[in-house]
């Protein structure tokens, strides 16, 4: 009886200390709730392009809860948008370091984000490793398969890249969970079984439809794709665009620069058909002249070249696009190459 009274008294004393102490459970609960609310505020500011406010919010969350994965993921994304890709990669590497293949589909987005950052940084081999893990953790996510295909294409593995792109397309077109349930099937592949058993992800109205966009000037920003537009695009696939004929004109006088770049043009829908020289080689800034019907191709090429002026011209020339290399690119010489392609609208960075 005496021991029971002592234990009861001790429990009451502990409860009193926890209620009064700033280090007790109440403070921990309050700080956790405050961290989550601050994170949500920062996330909304991030989407509204209020970069400084979003960064301050994420940093405030990490002071309250240093390991908060959402705030660290958001901070990494801010770094990627500002072209501090090494900083972004470092954060995502830390976030994924302890995640095993038994973690399930809920953590796959971190590997996909890491892989996309590697892609934007031109590190195709590293991207492939991260994206393979993303696909193993969540085999039903078309984004990871698409990015893996892009990484393989960048490594020169065209056949395997096409296979991954076909897998991504199949997952976008079919609800495999519903098909599998209707067939009453089972699988012996553990990752696929986990993904099928997990609840179907519900798209967050703001963040699941967001992606990193690389602008003509090389700057990155977070953009949102409206759900209605995505649904429309899923129903009506666009007709393939006509191939744009591209002329590369040397406007800076660096010998062999236009020819070397012509061998590296890998933008779909663009074919180099002509090389030429600008009289006097006095072009100060690189530009792309384009016919109106090929404006999209011109913008894509400009995004990958970076810091390029766009100028619409009347049709009638033997080419649809003319890339005039200026002195601003002369420092690259014959080593000039295109940056990796910007992520498509279905290659969103995932946020939690």
Residue 80 and residue 62 in contact, taking contact as beta carbons nearer than 8 Å: no
| 29: pLDDT strictly greater than 90 | no
Angstrom distance (rounded) from CA 342 to CA 81 = 12
Least confident of 111-125, 205-219, 276-290: 205-219
State the pLDDT confidence band at 210, using cuts at 50, 70 and 90.
very low
Q: What is the pLDDT of residue 108?
A: 86
| 257: pLDDT strictly greater than 90 | yes
Question: For a pLDDT cut of 70, what percent of the chain falls above it?
Answer: 68
Strands 270-277 and 309-312: unpaired
Residue 271 and residue 244 in contact, taking contact as beta carbons nearer than 8 Å: yes
Q: What is the pLDDT of residue 91?
A: 93
Which two three-digit tokens encode residue 65? 């809860």
Instruction: Identify which has the larger pLDDT, 327 or 210.
Output: 327
Torsion angle of the four alpha carbons 70, 72, 77, 78, in this order, in degrees rounded to the nearest 10: 120
Phi (first) and psi of residue 75, to 5 degrees: -65, -40
Residue 212's DSSP bridge partners are 222
| 85: pLDDT strictly greater than 80 | yes
Instruction: Identify which has the larger pLDDT, 177 or 155.
Output: 155
Burial group, residue 66, by CB count within 10 angstroms (0-12, 13-18, 19+): exposed
Residue 73 and residue 107 in contact, taking contact as beta carbons nearer than 8 Å: no
| 101: pLDDT strictly greater than 50 | yes
Mean pLDDT of the chain: 75
Least confident of 21-25, 49-53, 103-107, 267-271: 21-25
Q: What is the CB neighbour count within 10 angstroms for residue 224?
A: 15
Instruction: Identify which has the larger pLDDT, 288 or 30.
Output: 288
Place of tokens 């049709």: 315
Which two three-digit tokens encode residue 184? 């009453």
Measured CA distances, 52 to 57, 101, 215, 351 (Å): 9, 36, 20, 19
Q: What is the DSSP code (8-state) at residue 322?
A: E
Q: Is 149 left (phi over 0), alpha (psi -120 to 50) or beta?
A: alpha
Q: What is the pTM of this model?
A: 0.51
Chain center to CA of 300: 16
Strands 210-214 and 220-224: antiparallel
Angstrom distance (rounded) from CA 149 to CA 165 = 5
Which two three-digit tokens encode residue 105? 């589909």
Q: Is the dihedral of CA 129, 130, 131, 133 positive or negative?
A: positive
| 13: pLDDT strictly greater than 70 | no
Phi (first) and psi of residue 184, to 5 degrees: 65, 30
Angstrom distance (rounded) from CA 193 to CA 175 = 15
Radius of gyration of the chain (CA): 26
Place of tokens 């995640």: 99
| 18: pLDDT strictly greater than 70 | no
| Helix or strand (DSSP H, E) at 129 | helix 124-137
Place of tokens 């099937």: 185
Q: What is the pLDDT of residue 33?
A: 83
State the pLDDT confidence band at 346, using cuts at 50, 70 and 90.
very low
| Residues contacting residue 230 through CB under 8 Å, at least 6 positions apart | 209, 345, 346
Q: What is the pLDDT of residue 248?
A: 94
Strands 270-277 and 287-290: unpaired
């Amino acid at each position: 009886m005496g021991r029971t009274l002592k234990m009861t008294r001790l429990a009451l004393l502990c409860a009193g200390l926890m209620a009064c102490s700033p280090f007790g459970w109440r403070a921990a609960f309050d700080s956790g709730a405050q961290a989550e609310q601050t994170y949500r505020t920062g996330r909304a500011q991030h989407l509204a392009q209020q970069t400084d406010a979003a960064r301050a919010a994420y940093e405030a969350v990490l002071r309250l809860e240093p390991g908060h994965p959402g705030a660290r993921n958001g901070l990494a994304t801010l770094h990627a948008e500002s072209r501090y890709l090494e900083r972004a990669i470092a954060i995502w590497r830390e976030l994924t370091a302890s995640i095993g293949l038994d973690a399930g589909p809920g953590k796959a987005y971190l590997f996909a984000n890491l892989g996309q950052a590697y892609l934007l940084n031109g590190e195709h081999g590293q991207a492939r490793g991260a994206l393979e893990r993303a696909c193993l953790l969540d085999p039903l996510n078309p984004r990871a398969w698409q990015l893996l295909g892009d990484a393989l294409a960048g490594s020169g593995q065209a056949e395997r890249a096409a296979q991954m792109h076909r897998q991504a397309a199949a997952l976008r077109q079919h609800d495999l969970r519903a098909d599998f349930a209707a067939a009453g099937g089972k699988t012996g592949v553990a990752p696929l079984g986990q993904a099928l058993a997990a609840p179907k992800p519900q798209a967050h109205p703001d963040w699941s439809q967001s992606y990193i966009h690389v602008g003509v000037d090389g700057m990155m920003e977070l953009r949102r794709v409206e759900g209605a537009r995505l649904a429309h695009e899923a129903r009506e696939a666009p007709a393939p665009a006509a191939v744009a004929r591209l002329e590369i004109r040397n406007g800076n006088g660096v010998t062999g620069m236009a020819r070397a770049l012509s061998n590296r043009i890998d933008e779909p829908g663009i074919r180099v058909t002509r090389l030429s020289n600008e009289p006097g080689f006095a072009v100060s800034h690189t530009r792309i002249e384009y016919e109106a019907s090929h404006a999209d191709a011109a913008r894509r090429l400009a995004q990958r070249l970076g810091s390029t002026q766009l100028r619409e011209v009347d049709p009638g020339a033997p080419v649809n696009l003319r890339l005039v290399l200026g002195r601003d690119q002369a420092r690259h010489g014959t080593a000039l190459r295109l940056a990796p392609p910007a992520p498509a609208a279905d290659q969103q960075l995932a946020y939690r």
